[in-house]
A and B are shown apart, each in its own frame.
Chain A
Amino acid sequence: KAGVTQTPRYLIKTRGQQVTLSCSPISGHRSVSWYQQTPGQGLQFLFEYFSETQRNKGNFPGRFSGRQFSNSRSEMNVSTLELGDSALYLCASSLVGVTDSGNTIYFGEGSWLTVV
């Protein structure tokens, strides 16, 4: 079956702009979470959605937001981009969430965002 699909794979934005990243989870998966990966900070949790509701949120400013649609696809948005937002943004999906019955989280290949 197809894995977690993220688009776009690479993009360059200018400071102050906004960006929307898209994630299609594995078919049947209802939980989608987002992570930011940078060389300095490693992998940091952004937020997690389940059945169109945000269940958990990490320690990121309000410029970072997300949503999930009825088909479980998810988008994350970053407004007023800063240079420090340059990172690999990873989407992950699982059936119902990690804490439920030991379901595995599967990661996509990520979207590389460069802010100039």
Chain B
Amino acid sequence: AQSVSQHNHHVILSEAASLELGCNYSYGGTVNLFWYVQYPGQHLQLLLKYFSGDPLVKGIKGFEAEFIKSKFSFNLRKPSVQWSDTAEYFCAVNARNTDKLIFGTGTRLQVFP
């Protein structure tokens, strides 16, 4: 069965610090990969997605993620976080032969000014 692991449950950073959130999945076939963000009181929004091609994907608000197939990973990065990045971040995987997203448990990011 597919599963997604987000190892960082709670991350606290100061503004301008660099961010990397880990995401590992288990599935032997071809996958689509996503990062969603949920700001306080708001709905889930897509940050970025990987379907094929360049494994380094750039998303909105300066976020990027790198798909490393050999490591079954899709880590999210941002070189310099802002207070407004405070939110919960979810990694999700979709196997190419299904239409459902399997989500990780989420990482809560707090950025202090």
What is the interface of chain A, defined by CB distance below 8 A to chain B?
3-4, 31, 33, 35, 42-45, 48, 50, 55-56, 58, 90, 92, 97-99, 102, 104-110
What is the interface of chain B, defined by CB distance below 8 A to chain A?
32, 34, 36, 42-46, 49, 51-52, 90, 92, 94-106
B44 contacts A107, C-beta separation under 8 Å = yes
Residues of A close to B90: CB separation below 8 A:
42-43
Q: How many A-B residue pairs have CB under 8 A?
A: 65
Residues of B close to A97: CB separation below 8 A:
99
Q: How far is the CB of A32 from chain B (nearest CB, A)?
A: 11
Q: List 30 A-B contacts (CB under 8 A).
A: A3-B43, A33-B99, A33-B101, A35-B101, A35-B103, A42-B104, A42-B106, A43-B92, A43-B103, A44-B103, A45-B102, A45-B103, A55-B99, A56-B98, A56-B99, A90-B44, A98-B32, A98-B99, A98-B101, A99-B94, A99-B96, A99-B97, A99-B98, A102-B49, A102-B51, A104-B49, A105-B46, A106-B46, A107-B36, A108-B43
